[in-house]
Chains A and B, each alone.
Chain A
């Protein structure tokens, strides 16, 4: 079945460590996004990519990095520079290169806890 797969679902990290969250889609979508979700707040955009080998910073990119070497894959690295990384991370994709004009398809999310 087509969809978006995020892994791992749960992740624990010690302070000072980098961690990479995986996001893979087989929907043949051009655009991919990473969001962060915290209790009581709306989704906040970390990074997005409209095409392979290109990506743009979102509203809260500091302390995060991404790559888009393949159309299907958009991994997110949470670096030690991110001051408050404990959150629920959502990857999404949408068809076409025009962002935010259509339905977003979300992965199941990755819950990161920093100990």
Chain B
């Protein structure tokens, strides 16, 4: 079956750096997305990777290794507002989007 694995919960300190990992086993690959979702709100798009390597966007970066079925989201200079769930999703060979359960990130002062 198709599967996306992410840690359920992570805790980090304000001002620090945190890396949220995502591993996937899917039938084919056509891209990987990261979304941010604050509690009770809609997910918002963070990044899209389709080629191997690192994509940097301000304080957030996303990395992809297709050969390893692995991605991570790196958040730098953490702020309290970064407390949210981070969702990893992969588009498979049939262009179906498979979602992970999300990682709840708790930021402590």
Question: Which residues of A are in contact with B by a Cβ distance under 8 Å?
Answer: 40-45, 90, 98-109, 111
Contacts and interface: CB of A to CB of B under 8 A. Distances in A.
Residue of A43, A90, A102 most packed against chain B (CB within 10 A):
A43
A106 B96 contact: no
B95 A108 contact: no
Given A99-B95, A100-B97, A108 B45 contact: no
Interface string B3-35: 010001000000000000000000000110101
Contacts of B42: 90, 106-109
Contacts, number: 52
A42 B45 contact: no
A8 to B, nearest CB: 14
B99 interface: yes
Interface of B: 4, 8, 30-31, 33, 35, 40-45, 48, 87, 89, 91, 95-102
Contact of B41 (A42, A103, A109): A109
Nearest to A40: B101
A69 to B, nearest CB: 24
A98 B95 contact: yes
Given A42-B4, A106-B43, A101 B95 contact: yes
18 contacts: A40-B8, A42-B89, A42-B102, A43-B43, A43-B99, A45-B96, A90-B43, A100-B30, A100-B91, A100-B95, A100-B97, A101-B31, A101-B91, A103-B45, A103-B48, A105-B45, A109-B40, A109-B41
Given A109-B40, A109-B42, A100 B96 contact: yes
A85 to B, nearest CB: 18
Nearest to A109: B42
B87 A102 contact: no
